[in-house]
């Protein structure tokens, strides 16, 4: 049997867990298995073995302090990146009555009703 696109994940509380492949078009995977079953554990061992034979090395354990510092650094970088993506115009916005009346006409609102609502 050949199973493709299986994901191997690791966490401190669960250890290695294999996730069934899934299509992005559907909410649930076509193939499912219980992550603590004998099949999933055997598959997990085989995937780790293949990863190590390919030359992969398991990442070193990070302390909680190192992990939190990395998360904080990513948040700061994301905030800086978000600020760069904002749009700014060199032209001042026109907020006079003529612009408001033009907007009212554009939105197909009667001039008197727009004046009553806006004024």
Mind listing the pLDDT tens digit for each residue in 37-89? 888 888 888 888 888 888 877 767 778 888 888 888 888 887 776 565 555 66
Q: What are the boundaries of each domain within the chain?
A: 1-59, 62-91
pTM of the model: 0.37
pLDDT reported for residue 25: 61
Q: Which of 57, 20, 51 is nearest to 35 (CA)?
A: 20
pLDDT reported for residue 61: 76
The single-letter DSSP state of residue 36 is T
The number of beta carbons lying within 10 Å of the beta carbon of residue 44 is 19
Where is pLDDT greater, at 46 or 21? Answer: 46
* Average pLDDT value for the chain: 73
Q: Which two tokens stand for residue 54?
A: 């390919």
Q: What burial class does residue 12 get, using C-beta atoms within 10 Å of its C-beta: 0-12 exposed, 13-18 middle, 19+ buried? A: exposed
């Amino acid at each position: 049997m050949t199973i493709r696109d299986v994901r191997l994940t690791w966490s401190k509380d669960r250890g290695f867990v294999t996730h069934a492949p899934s299509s992005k078009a559907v909410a649930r995977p076509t193939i499912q298995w219980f992550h603590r079953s004998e099949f999933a554990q055997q598959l997990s061992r085989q995937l780790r073995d293949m990863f190590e034979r390919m030359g992969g090395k398991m990442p070193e354990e990070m302390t909680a302090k190192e992990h939190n510092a990395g998360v904080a650094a990513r948040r700061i970088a994301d905030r800086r990146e978000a600020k760069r993506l904002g749009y700014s115009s060199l032209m001042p916005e026109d907020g006079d009555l003529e612009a408001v009346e033009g907007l009212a006409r554009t939105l197909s609102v009667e001039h008197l009703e727009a004046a009553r609502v806006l004024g």
